[in-house]
Amino acid sequence: MKSNYFITGNAIEELKKLPDGSVDLICTDPPYNLGKDYGNNIDWKQWHEYGQFTLDWLTESKRVLKNDGSLYVFMGVKFISRLFLMLQELGFHFNGWITWHYTQGMGRTKGFSPRHEDILYFTKSDDFTFNNDDVRIPQKYFRERNNMQGANPGDVWEFSHVHYSNPERVKHPTQKPEALMKRIISASSNKGDIVLDPFVGSGTTCVVANFLDRKWIGFDINPEYIEMSENRIKKEINMLDSIDPREDRTPRDLKKFDEAKQASLLLSFAK
């Protein structure tokens, strides 16, 4: 199947052009229906219309996914519970509710300041790719029973937004962090697999998929964002636009780990 292209178009119509069972991973961050200005489209519909729009693109997504494929959908709190039920009703298999804690944002004076969005992770069947070893993060402590190659990152992830002062920031209002996409794509696809984002925005999903040697396809209804994505994919990326702070940690009692390793080494020489 043709891959490694961006196309300007309506996600539902473009999805309809893809063959059944042709995509390994769909990772997407659709408009949340919160009134964002996306240039040639304003993210605002009556909720029932937004519900139908969501149902339509999810139905097509299910059709184009391979039987062992996975789907990750970003969503804001206002619609997430309905999205969850919709995915279940469409027959997707639930695999995780990931909370993305983005550490800073607007402040509220009457109510708690929002600091998270969520990502629903469903698969098409119970047979799916999950590369646990590719997403491990350093353990917090040395423990005999811990796998010292690293821990599973869990389902609460901390990545800061791509700040406006960041040199990698482009002119898109909801650009997502590359490091976050890297975790999803590394876990749920293999080299050469096809990764699709039907609402690609500034291109983040495809830029990271390309970096990880996956094939990719991206749609967006705004031609300016498609041009932005095309420019971004030609540039070298360094994955520094955000990082999970746990990636940098050293197990607190690593010294004990080193001593244990040395002792077992001495023991093996003595034998």
Q: d(Cα 116, Cα 76) in Å, to the nearest integer?
A: 8
Q: What angle do CA 177, 133, 162 make, to 5 degrees?
A: 5
Pattern 107-136, ligand SAM, x by CB under 6 A? ------------------------------
Nearer to ligand SAM, 129 or 222 (CB): 222
Q: Least Å distance between CB 170 and ligand SAM?
A: 8
Q: Write out the binding residues for ligand SAM, residues 6-25 only, by CB under 6 A.
A: 10-11
Within 8 A by CB and 6+ apart from 194, the residues are: 1, 3, 22, 23, 24, 25, 214, 215, 216, 217
Q: d(Cα 60, Cα 71) in Å, to the nearest integer?
A: 12
Strand partners, 158: 101
Nearer to ligand SAM, 60 or 220 (CB): 220
219 binds ligand SAM (CB under 6 A): yes
225 binds ligand SAM (CB under 6 A): yes
Name the token pair of 37.
């200005």
Q: Least Å distance between CB 224 and ligand SAM?
A: 9
Nearer to ligand SAM, 41 or 99 (CB): 41
80 binds ligand SAM (CB under 6 A): no
29 binds ligand SAM (CB under 6 A): yes
175 binds ligand SAM (CB under 6 A): yes
31 binds ligand SAM (CB under 6 A): yes
Q: Which stretch binds ligand SAM (CB under 6 A): 58-66, 129-137, 144-152, 221-229?
A: 221-229
193 binds ligand SAM (CB under 6 A): no
Q: Applying CB under 6 A, which of residues 62, 172, 215, 232 lies at the interface with ligand SAM?
A: 172
Specify the pairing of strand 23-28 against strand 93-101: unpaired
Q: Which stretch binds ligand SAM (CB under 6 A): 84-92, 146-154, 196-204, 255-263?
A: 196-204
99 phi/psi in degrees, rounded to 5: -100, 120
**204-211 helix and 178-188 helix, angle to the nearest 10 degrees:** 60
CB atoms within 10 A of CB 206: 28
Task: Identify whether the C-beta of residue 117 lies closer than 8 Å to the C-beta of residue 74.
Answer: yes
38 binds ligand SAM (CB under 6 A): yes
Nearer to ligand SAM, 29 or 118 (CB): 29
Q: Applying CB under 6 A, which of residues 41, 95, 99, 190 lies at the interface with ligand SAM?
A: 41
Closest CA to 167 of 227, 248, 240, 244: 240
Count interface residues toward ligand SAM (CB under 6 A): 20
Strands across the sheet containing 116-123: 5-8, 215-220, 194-197, 23-28, 65-75, 116-123, 93-101, 156-158
Q: Which residues bind ligand SAM (CB under 6 A)?
A: 10-11, 29-31, 38, 41, 172, 174-176, 199, 201-202, 204, 219-222, 225
